[in-house]
Structure 1
Amino acid sequence: MRIKNILIAHTGSSAFASSLDYAVKIAVRREAWLTAVYGNTNSYFDQVLELTPELTKKLGSVRADRIAQARELFESEVTAAGMSDRARFLMPEDVGKLSPAEIARHFDFVVTGFHPNRPADEYRAVSPDIIALQSGRPVLVVPEGYAATGLADHALVAWDGKRAAARALNDAMSVLEEKPRKVSVVTIGDLLRDTPAAISISTHLERHGVEANFIQVRDSGRDIARTIQKTADEIGAKLIVMGAYEHSKFSQDIFGGVTHDVVRFSSVPVFMSH
């Protein structure tokens, strides 16, 4: 995938700053266009409670202030990066009633933030998993407060051989191919041993010029999300590439899932596709 058209989705909180910083770095590196949109979402309380006209007006004023602040930060960052001619901040009137997922379909991929320390804000924030599920586009989730002097020089690919993992791997291939980026493929159990060499993921990567290091983690029945995070920490990976929601979103919401847990607790950016 050639990266030339990037969407950054405002999450409605301070997580926007770290995701914006990372998105600008990618856009500069790729000489890409960068478009920002404020999440066209309402909070749980807005949806459930019957608010008075006065309170609705006050909330509208607060939202307008946040949009103005986000736009000011966006314009400041892209100007400092020397890419004002390839950047645009979309206002609510520009997108109408389109959801972030619908908007995302017109871009190569989406960058957004996540703020795991604010559980109540999950109802207000642009949901990265929903965007990945509904848009058909990969999503890069940057943790709140994440700061990096450059782009990730070591990527961990979580590989289970399933459809979503294959989609994420190929969506991220242009990133993995960059030199001198290091790539580590992490599997749990005997997955690679059971795959014929002629059609193995290692052969696929080799043909793309990616010299990957393969790490096999013994299947001890531990939480897979924690295993991925722990391995990323141990090897110093600065990016996690993984499939999103191999099972239904509903079942993962009810019973919990790898995607949500990795995104929620990761200390490094997560690139995911559904």
Structure 2
Amino acid sequence: MQYKTVLAYLDPDERTQARLDFSLTLAGRFDAHLIGLYSPFAPDSRAYFTVAGGAPYYSEYCDVRRGQQAAAEESFHHALRRVGMDGEWIAFDFYAEQPIVRRSRHADVLVAGQANPDDNTASLRRRFLEHVVMTSGRPVLVLPYAGALRATCEAIVIAWDGSREAARAVHDAMPLLETAKRVTVLHIDTSNSSQTPMPGTGISDIDLLLASHAVNVDFAQDFSDSDETAGETLISWVAKNGCDFIVAGAYGHPQWRERLLGGVTLSLLESATVPVLLSH
């Protein structure tokens, strides 16, 4: 299995270049077609006209946006020339949630960036990611907002709970799993018990599936006080065990529950320190 089309979401964010470099490496690894889809996080233009004298500020804002888009496009094509790769540039001059969802359905994987908590659009960006993960029907590869980005994906951990979402994530990540040096299936036990490891999670079946793809895995288990803290436990385990990539199902619980109480998906979207492939 291979990825044949990689869709990279680009915007004026300071991490866009790192996101592009990661996407280039990923696409080059599989000889895939790279699409750069650009759109800023733009406010509703009507907001500038509700206050007297607001129109000139909106015009100035549009000029800034056009300059940012032109610079991003030049950077995209320069990066392609640098590595000798063909690619495609698509740009929208408005908030691109729906266009990105539509275009991602024709790609093998979408690369996007985690929201920086210091950004004043952080809440908007997280909601955007949630919507894309839930509605695109494709795996979304979310890159952390800080730190160096490596597209090696050599030590992968699968967050496994036997759910439909986790199973889909494993299948969506198979091109990466087949080429990884180390793959660990990790189960986070939230039952507050130390009984037989990983009961009822179909761990033997996932072992057989991965073996049929020539993926050699080991298995691990960790414990969390509750579902709400399982995400923190997962992130901590990844850091302690030197993993550089996470594969996880997204929103096995209802979205409202995670927003209210927390959970694995929310923790990964906000706090993961390595790239995460999420599937719903």
Regarding TM over 0.5, the answer is: yes
Deviations 1:35-72 (Å, cap 9, x if unpaired)?
A: 111136434x7676746322221221222122122112
Deviations 1:118-155 (A, max 9, x none): 24222554832221111101011112344346511100
Share of identical aligned residues, percent? 27
Partner of residue 226, structure 1: 232
Establish whether residue 256 from structure 1 lines up as the match of residue 257 from structure 2.
no
CA contact (8 A) 1:141 1:263 kept: yes
| Contact 1:111–1:141 (CA under 8 A) maintained in structure 2 | yes
Deviation at 1:96, TM superposition (A): 8.9
Structure 1 partner of 2:249: 243
Q: Cα gap change, 1:62/1:182 in structure 2, threshold over 3 Å: closer, same or farther? A: same
Paired residue secondary structure (1:101):
helix
Give deviations 1:98-125, integer Å, cap 9, x for gaps.
Answer: 5211221111110011242324222554
Counterpart position of 1:176: 177
**Matching residue's letter, 1:215:** A
Change over 3 Å in CA distance of 1:250–1:110 after alignment to 2: same
Give ranges in structure 2 of 5+ residues lacking alignment.
Answer: 190-195
Judge conservation of contact 1:143–1:269 (CA < 8 Å) in 2: yes
Q: Distance in 1 between matches of 2:71 and 2:213?
A: 42
For the pair 1:66 / 2:68, whether they are aligned, the reply is yes
Q: How far off its partner does 1:5 sit?
A: 0.7
Using the alignment, how far apart are the partners of 1:47 and 1:191 within structure 2?
A: 57
Cα shift at 1:162: 1.0
- Separation of aligned partners in 2, 1:251 and 1:194: 23
CA contact (8 A) 2:15 2:145 kept: yes
Whether the aligned pair in 2 keeps the contact of 1:160 and 1:191 (CA below 8 Å) is no
CA contact 1:36–1:90 (8 Å) conserved in 2: yes
- Structure 1: 5+ residue runs without aligned partners? none
Q: Residues 97 and 226 from structure 1, CA distance in 2 versus in 1: closer, same or farther, beyond 3 angstroms?
A: closer
> What is the TM-score normalised by the length of structure 1?
0.87
Give the number of equivalent residue pairs.
Answer: 269
- Give matches, 1:97-112, under 5 Å: 98-112=98-112
Counterparts of 1:81-230 in structure 2, within 5 Å, are 81-83=83-85, 86-92=86-92, 98-123=98-123, 125=125, 127-148=128-149, 150-179=151-180, 181-189=181-189, 192-194=198-200, 200-221=205-226, 223-230=229-236
Partner SS state of residue 117, structure 1: coil
Residues 188 and 257 from structure 1, CA distance in 2 versus in 1: closer, same or farther, beyond 3 angstroms? closer
Cα 1:104–1:236 shift into 2, 3 Å = same
Measure the CA separation in 2 of the matches of 1:36 and 1:73.
Answer: 11
1:195, 1:208 → 2: CA distance?
20
Quote the offset at 1:194 in angstroms.
Answer: 3.4
Contact 2:184 2:217 in 1 (8 A): yes
Helix, strand or coil for the counterpart of 2:120? Answer: helix
Structure 1 residues 164 and 63 mapped into 2: Cα distance closer, same or farther (>3 Å)? same
CA contact (8 A) 2:153 2:245 kept: yes
Structure 1 segment 16-27 matched on structure 2, within 5 A: 16-27=16-27
Q: Secondary structure at the match of 2:225?
A: coil
Say whether the 8 Å CA contact 1:19–1:143 is kept in structure 2: no
> CA–CA distance in 2 between the matches of 1:11 and 1:158?
30
Could you say if the C-alpha distance between residues 163 and 135 of structure 1 is closer, same or farther in structure 2, counting changes exceeding 3 Å? same
Does 1 or 2 have the higher relative contact order (CA < 8 Å, sep 6+)? Answer: 1
Task: Give 1:63's aligned amino acid.
Answer: R
* CA deviation after TM superposition for structure 1 residue 253, in Å: 2.9
Residue 192 of structure 2 corresponds to: none
1-structure distance, mates of 2:197, 2:167:
14
State the AA in 1 paired with 2:156. A
- 1:6 matched to 2:12? The reply is no
- C-alpha RMSD over aligned residues: 2.7
Classify 1:82/1:154 alpha carbon distance in 2 versus 1 (closer, same or farther; 3 Å).
same
**Partners of 2:146 and 2:273 within 8 A in 1:** no
String of CA shifts for 1:193-240, please: whole Å, max 9, x gaps.
33567x522222122211111111134337111111111011111001
